[in-house]
């Protein structure tokens, strides 16, 4: 499929370009004909763009993975490494990681698509692109609540250990800690908080002092993102269709047999013996609802957060601040606090949002602490993914408690004129919970239909979830590798999905 690759440095960025053999693709995924494929590059990631699928046929795909965030990308990578034929269907685009405001705006802040407003006018963001939200995340690695998951029959200990070996995880080295982050850490410690450097998913050997953090996507490849797993899956023979929005799973005799999708305005069907829906905490329940699992998308969390800002006279932000470089998890109080660097455009938006017009141009002297709480499960999604959820009195109390503590730390650090921004959220989940809508193997009530992303988290959360999701993806892939092999041994007939 990949007939050649070329690496070159453009303005200090490594750009790898793969050339795809157009004719090989239909045979690989068992489709009668595919439209024009073209050479593409995704920064360090290959892109395979399929513009149209004409008709549908007997699928020679072992597994369809819907969505390429941390959950889906891990399953795709792990299964393709075991020789399974994997087709990844991704709603978002897969162009190069440019790290530009434009790309950030299109893929993380598009109203109604990636930026969703809740009942309380809280802004919830999700990445609609290859790699999902991890393209824009802050790369903080939080421990997995192993005991809680074990109580649902999910033991992730071995998988977590495996992820630690495989990915570049660790606290920032001294050169990457900035004066602002150190000042906040010292102040918090002086007040008795066990504030410490946090583990980051960052390849620190690649980091250079002139690099900005990849808020808008990291073209330097320092920040690990799920795109890197997609790249590995492609190199191992998986296929990726971008711009493919899955609308529902096709179910026959209580068994999943394929999916329906829209690509370039056209409705298509593709069949496969196993379907893994990994479209994220909002995307997956919407697909399941349209597939007959009406209970999906209720009683969920989204980990609301505020940013507490103060003006510092004697410490100025550097161009290479790294968000969430240090912080604390106050488990009993139900929230985390971390230093929080943001890009200038976000500072501008935050200050304007809360009417702090005098602070608009105060970017370099603004210190920030993020307070992110474990919210009460509640709310419901609409059939189109509208988020109907209000913060509870308890959530407000936790946010206020965090605000007070963040104020103390900022004051101790010498900050004045302290204020907080509006509510945001970036971790929707718990919409397809383990123990309710999926079993311990992440299988739904339909045979061969699995879910693997933030949706399956069974309880209120409040933590950065990526380590947990990657570990869940590894565990599911192991399970599916066995399942699909035994299906092969039984010579299960390939399922045919009628053309639209």
Please report, as ranges, the residues that interact with ligand FAD according to CB under 6 A: 66-72, 89-92, 125-129, 132-134, 136-140, 245-246, 278-281, 283, 287, 324, 426-427, 453-454, 464-466, 469
Q: In angstroms, give the least distance from the CB of 267 to ligand FAD.
A: 13
State both tokens at 239: 């296929």
Q: In angstroms, give the least distance from the CB of 121 to ligand FAD.
A: 18
In the beta sheet, which residues pair with residue 110? none
Residue with the closest Cβ to ligand FAD? 69
Identify the three-state secondary structure at position 11: coil
Q: What is the 3-state secondary structure (H, E, C) of 117-139?
A: ECCCCCEEECCCECCHHHHCCCC
By C-beta, is 325 or 351 nearer to ligand FAD? 325
Q: In angstroms, give the least distance from the CB of 286 to ligand FAD.
A: 7
By C-beta, is 70 or 96 nearer to ligand FAD? 70
By C-beta, is 86 or 287 nearer to ligand FAD? 287
By C-beta, is 13 or 245 nearer to ligand FAD? 245
Asked if residue 279 lies in contact with residue 91, where contact means CB atoms within 8 angstroms, the answer is yes
By C-beta, is 261 or 312 nearer to ligand FAD? 261
Q: In angstroms, give the least distance from the CB of 187 to ligand FAD.
A: 22
Identify the three-state secondary structure at position 1: coil
Q: In angstroms, give the least distance from the CB of 487 to ligand FAD.
A: 24
Asked if residue 358 lies in contact with residue 319, where contact means CB atoms within 8 angstroms, the answer is no
Rounded to the nearest 10°, the torsion over CA 326, 328, 334, 340 is -30
By C-beta, is 411 or 479 nearer to ligand FAD? 479
By C-beta, is 135 or 409 nearer to ligand FAD? 135
What does the DSSP assignment read for 93-122?
B-------HHHHHHHH--BTTTEEE-TT--
**What DSSP state is assigned to residue 281?**
H
Asked if residue 462 lies in contact with residue 476, where contact means CB atoms within 8 angstroms, the answer is no
Q: What is the 3-state secondary structure (H, E, C) of 284-330?
A: HHHHHHHCCCCCCCEEEECCCEEEEEEECCCCCCCCCCCCCCEEEEE
Q: In angstroms, give the least distance from the CB of 442 to ligand FAD.
A: 12
Label residue 233 exposed, middle or buried (CB < 10 Å: 0-12, 13-18, 19+). Answer: buried
State both tokens at 298: 């209720």
State both tokens at 96: 């190069």
By C-beta, is 144 or 312 nearer to ligand FAD? 144
């Amino acid at each position: 499929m990949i007939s050649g690759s070329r690496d070159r440095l453009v303005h200090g960025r490594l750009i790898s370009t793969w050339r795809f053999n157009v004719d090989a693709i239909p045979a690989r995924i068992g489709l009668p004909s595919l439209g024009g494929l073209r050479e593409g590059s995704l920064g360090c990631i290959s892109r395979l763009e399929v513009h149209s699928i004409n008709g549908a046929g007997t699928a020679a795909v072992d597994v369809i993975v819907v969505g390429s965030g941390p959950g889906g990308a891990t399953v795709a990578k792990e299964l393709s490494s075991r020789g399974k034929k994997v087709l990844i269907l991704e709603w978002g685009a897969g162009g190069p990681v440019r790290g530009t405001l434009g790309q950030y705006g299109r893929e993380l802040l598009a109203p109604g698509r990636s930026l969703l407003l809740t009942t309380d006018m809280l802004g919830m963001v999700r990445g609609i692109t290859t790699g999902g939200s991890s393209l824009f995340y802050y790369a903080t690695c939080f421990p997995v609540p192993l005991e809680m998951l074990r109580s649902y029959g999910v033991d992730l200990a071995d998988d977590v250990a495996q992820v630690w070996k495989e990915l570049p995880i660790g606290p920032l080295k001294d050169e990457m800690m900035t004066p602002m982050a150190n000042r906040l850490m010292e102040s918090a410690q002086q007040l008795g908080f066990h504030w410490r450097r946090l583990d980051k998913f960052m390849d620190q050997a690649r980091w250079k002092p002139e690099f900005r953090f990849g808020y808008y996507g990291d073209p330097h490849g320092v920040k690990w993102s799920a795109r890197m797993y997609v790249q590995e899956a492609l190199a191992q023979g998986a296929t990726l269709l971008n711009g493919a929005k899955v609308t529902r799973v096709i179910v026959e005799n209580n068994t999943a047999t394929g999916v329906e999708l829209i690509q370039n305005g056209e409705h298509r069907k593709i069949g496969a013996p196993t379907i893994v829906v990994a479209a994220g905490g909002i995307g997956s329940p919407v697909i399941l609802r349209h597939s007959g699992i009406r209970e999906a998308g209720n009683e969920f969390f989204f980990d609301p957060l505020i940013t507490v800002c103060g003006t510092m006279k004697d410490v100025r932000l550097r161009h290479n601040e790294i968000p969430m470089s240090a912080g604390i998890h106050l488990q009993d109080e139900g929230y985390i606090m971390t230093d929080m660097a943001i890009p200038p455009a976000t500072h501008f938006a935050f200050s304007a949002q809360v009417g702090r017009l005098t602070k608009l141009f105060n970017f370099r002297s603004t210190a920030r602490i993020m307070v992110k709480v474990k919210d009460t499960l509640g709310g419901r999604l609409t059939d189109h993914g509208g988020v109907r959820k209000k913060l509870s009195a308890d959530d407000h109390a936790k946010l206020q408690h965090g605000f007070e503590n963040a104020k103390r730390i900022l004051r101790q650090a010498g900050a004045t004129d302290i204020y907080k921004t509006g509510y945001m959220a970036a971790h929707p989940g718990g919409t397809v919970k383990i123990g309710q809508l999926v079993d311990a193997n992440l299988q739904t009530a339909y045979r061969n239909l699995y879910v693997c992303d933030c949706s399956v988290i069974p309880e209120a959360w409040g933590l950065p979830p990526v380590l947990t999701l990657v570990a869940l993806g590894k565990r599911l892939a192991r399970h599916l590798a066995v399942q699909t092999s035994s299906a092969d041994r039984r010579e299960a007939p390939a399922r045919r999905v009628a053309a639209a």
